[in-house]
């Protein structure tokens, strides 16, 4: 595995691979890798001859008072984990190469970016959109892999690729969970031991809400309100629990059949997100 920090060097390498007829799969990350990231890498290695993984803690997606400065940076350990996988290049771009001092370009994916996490983290998805666009322009991958845990982010990236005509196929990979159901996340490391014991309740609550939504007499709004009340009683600070259409993340109606149940809640200072994707019989 090569470690590359120069954009020019990476582009030269990718051009060489293309001349040889190799396909390129890309896994963008912010590091502090866990089994969920490595699952993305594994799927990427099955789909293409060459795999590039990037690690870049992107400052533009962190808002005021968020954890940019304290976000865990574990590049040495990450490199060791990737070296045992089928990774050709670890791309470690420098911040000044990604963002010039007078950087002034922005990308906003309207509507999708204003919903759910976008309400409580204004500007976050604009930061995601610009860095993903920049990375796609640098790497020029045939396909890129993203986890379904960040379902809203995944939807925004799909829309970005469609609207800007990027020649890259977006591949999604199911959420990887701990044995007790907690969705894997780098921010889980922030949880205290007591909070870590409580954290899986978010997933269990989502499973219960999904099961209730499958019943013919169910009322989605009532289930959402009940879920928020339950989270509060367990010590969470809920941001939202929302049944949405998978197509556009707008609120689901009783007539919709393809749904995603999105949730975000703080446990102490740690913000947890999770979701469940499911189908139900639509009412007519």
Q: Would you please indicate which residues are annotated as catalytic (active-site) residues? A: 37
Q: Which of 26, 154, 20, 147 is nearest to 90 (CA)?
A: 26
Secondary structure of residue 104 in the 3-state scheme: coil
Q: Return d(Cα 14, Cα 19) in angstroms, integer.
A: 9
Please give the biggest Cα pair distance in the chain.
Answer: 60
Which residues in 51-60 are b (16+ Cβ under 10 Å) and which e? Answer: bbbbbbbbeb
Q: For 247, phi and psi rounded to 5 degrees? A: -70, -40
- Residue 279: half-sphere exposure toward Cβ, Cα within 13 Å: 1
Find tokens 């993903």 and name the residue: 132
Angle between helices 124-139 and 7-19 (to 10 degrees): 50
Q: Is the dihedral of CA 62, 67, 69, 70 positive or negative?
A: negative
Q: Which of 258, 267, 249, 261 is nearest to 207 (CA)?
A: 261
Q: Return d(Cα 60, Cα 131) in angstroms, integer.
A: 8
Secondary structure of residue 18 in the 3-state scheme: helix
Q: Return d(Cα 150, Cα 171) in angstroms, integer.
A: 13
Specify the length of the chain in residues: 284
């Amino acid at each position: 595995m090569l470690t590359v920090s120069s954009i020019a060097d990476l582009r030269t390498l990718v051009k060489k691979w293309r001349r040889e007829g190799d396909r390129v799969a890309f896994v963008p990350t912010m590091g502090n890798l866990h089994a969920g990231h490595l699952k993305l890498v594994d799927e990427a290695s099955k789909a293409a001859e060459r795999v590039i993984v990037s690690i870049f803690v992107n400052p533009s997606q962190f808002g005021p008072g968020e954890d940019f400065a304290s976000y865990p940076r574990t590049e040495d350990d990450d490199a060791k984990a990737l070296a045992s996988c089928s990774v050709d290049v670890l791309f470690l771009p420098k911040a000044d190469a990604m963002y010039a001092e007078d950087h002034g370009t922005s990308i906003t994916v309207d509507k999708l970016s204003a919903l759910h996490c976008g309400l409580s983290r204004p500007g976050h998805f604009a930061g995601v959109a610009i860095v993903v666009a920049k990375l796609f322009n640098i790497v020029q991958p045939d396909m890129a892999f993203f986890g379904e845990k960040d379902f809203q982010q995944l939807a925004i990236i799909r829309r970005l690729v469609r609207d800007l005509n990027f020649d890259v196929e977006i591949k999604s990979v199911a959420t990887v969970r701990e044995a007790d159901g907690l969705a894997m996340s780098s921010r889980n490391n922030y949880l205290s031991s007591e909070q870590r014991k409580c954290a899986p309740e978010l997933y269990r609550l989502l499973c219960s809400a999904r099961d209730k939504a499958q019943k013919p007499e169910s009322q989605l709004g009532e289930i959402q309100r009940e879920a928020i009340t339950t989270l509060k009683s367990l010590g969470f600070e809920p941001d939202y629990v929302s049944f949405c259409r998978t197509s556009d993340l707008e609120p689901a109606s009783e007539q919709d059949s393809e749904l995603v149940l999105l949730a975000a809640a703080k446990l102490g200072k740690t913000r947890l997100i999770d979701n469940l994707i499911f189908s139900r019989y639509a009412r007519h």
